[in-house]
């Protein structure tokens, strides 16, 4: 077993989602050795910094940030859900570590796209066809996996192929279904 437990260290209010909390957990040991393995196999990795030993995963809703000695989980309903999620993270770490001989670690850095990076490639018509009030709101929705690229009608036009394909590359796994870390599932 790679990590025997992750203890709930403390909670704090979640500023992104009032009424929810951020869970801060402490693994029984440093987990930086498993981060390049997770970076290689998980479709919901949105950021990885090998120099800082930090990996960020998309979870619907919110994020899970893993550092060498801390686990942060945002937009959690309560401590019971947080403890359940910490157990799921522990299990993920252990399962990944058990498969380490079958995984080629991915050590290169991944940068999280910024909303402005996405917005610059959108048509910027603020047409609302996507269901958002503005193209900037749509950019945020894409990054939060609340919307898909094909919701942007102007972007699906033939004259927008280059922007659309650039966005697909920039968003990577953002535009794919996120089956991992949905709500409190693990």
pLDDT of 115 > 70? The answer is yes
3-state DSSP call for residue 3?
coil
User: Does this chain's domain 6-102 share its CATH topology with 115-175?
Assistant: no
CATH class of 6-102: alpha beta
The residue assigned the tokens 């029984």 is: 28
Burial class (CB in 10 A: 0-12, 13-18, 19+), 50: middle
CATH node for 115-175: 1.10.15.40
Per residue in 80-111, pLDDT tens?
A: 999 999 999 999 999 999 999 999 999 988 87
Query: C-alpha distances in angstroms, 116 versus 59, 63, 77, 91, 157?
Result: 22, 20, 29, 35, 22
The C-alpha atoms of residue 36 and residue 97 are separated, in whole angstroms, by: 11
The C-alpha atoms of residue 132 and residue 112 are separated, in whole angstroms, by: 22
Q: What is the domain partition of the chain in residue ranges?
A: 6-102, 115-175
Q: 21 near 78, Cβ under 8 Å?
A: yes
Per residue in 142-181, pLDDT tens?
A: 888 789 999 999 999 888 887 887 787 677 644 443 333 3
pTM: 0.67
List of residues 6+ apart from 24 with CB closer than 8 A? 8, 9, 10, 11, 12, 70, 71, 72
Sign, CA torsion 165/169/174/178: positive
Mean pLDDT of the chain: 87
């Amino acid at each position: 077993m790679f990590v025997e437990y992750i203890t709930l260290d403390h909670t704090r209010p979640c500023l992104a989602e009032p009424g929810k909390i951020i869970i801060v957990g402490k693994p029984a040991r440093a987990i930086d050795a498993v981060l390049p393995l997770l970076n290689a196999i998980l479709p919901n990795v949105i950021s990885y910094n090998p120099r800082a030993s930090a990996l960020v995963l998309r979870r619907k809703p919110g994020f899970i940030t893993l550092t060498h000695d801390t686990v942060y989980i945002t937009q959690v309903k309560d401590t019971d859900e947080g403890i359940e999620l910490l157990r799921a993270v522990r299990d993920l770490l252990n399962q990944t570590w058990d498969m380490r001989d079958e995984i080629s670690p991915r050590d290169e850095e991944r940068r999280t796209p910024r909303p402005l990076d996405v917005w610059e490639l959108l048509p910027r018509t603020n047409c609302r066809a996507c269901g958002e009030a503005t193209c900037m709101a749509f950019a945020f929705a894409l990054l939060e996996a609340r919307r898909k690229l094909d919701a942007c009608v102007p972007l699906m036009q033939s004259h927008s192929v280059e922007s659309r394909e650039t966005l697909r590359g920039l968003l990577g796994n953002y535009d794919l279904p996120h089956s991992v870390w949905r709500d409190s599932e693990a």
